[in-house]
Structure 1
Amino acid sequence: MAHYLAELYSPKPAWLALDPAGRQRFFDGVGAGMGALMALGVEVLAMGEVEAGSLHPAPQRFFALWRLADQAALDALLGGIAASGWHDYFDTVNAGGRGTDLGGHLAQLAAVA
């Protein structure tokens, strides 16, 4: 079964202080690493800004949802994100693992001791 990663993140002061050219250099570096990750089965499902007006919103400002072929692809994505310097610029919370269907997840919840 596929693996998934949900990221929630907000800019740090270092990002806010970065000028437009510095931000573009950072984005260029991130983009350069994406081809190798996609070859491993990394797929972007959606990215965007958290809607602060929704019920129980996350305190982070942005989100990214990824589908991955397997645990190795998840590990590669997390490693690539860290190696890019992402965490220097964004406070990030990750939730990742193997996906299941509704019945499988309800069984996981029921089994919690």
Structure 2
Amino acid sequence: MKIIGSLPNLQVFKLKSNAFCGREWITNAGEFLQLKFLLLENIALEHWIVDRTHFRNLQHLVIKDCYNFERIPDEIEEISTLRSIELYGCCVSIVASAKYVQRESTEIGWPSSSYC
């Protein structure tokens, strides 16, 4: 992931069908700086640990069929460019964390975003 995250012009990243090994993803400083679209689909991820500066240009987050994924990191709410979070086939805790991100980002004063 460090190599992929370090690609200087990466704007779209689709992590699908168990392409990610492990239950935890910890991003590092200097990774995914230009990423605008992130899809997490059918991966065994349970915990995602991120700093808001790692995805500073993220606009769209899509989580699909990630049944073990427990929650969206709170730090995602601090990404001012985030415009949408889409959820498909996810557990109730993911929906709750997406609503929390939406509520908190609105309180911070970011433009309204759509979450479904």
Relative to the length of structure 1, the TM-score reads 0.24
More helix per residue: 1 or 2? 1
Relative to the length of structure 2, the TM-score reads 0.24
More strand per residue: 1 or 2? 1
Q: Decide which structure has the larger Cα Rg and report it.
A: 1
- Point out which structure has higher relative CO (alpha carbons under 8 A, 6+ apart): 1
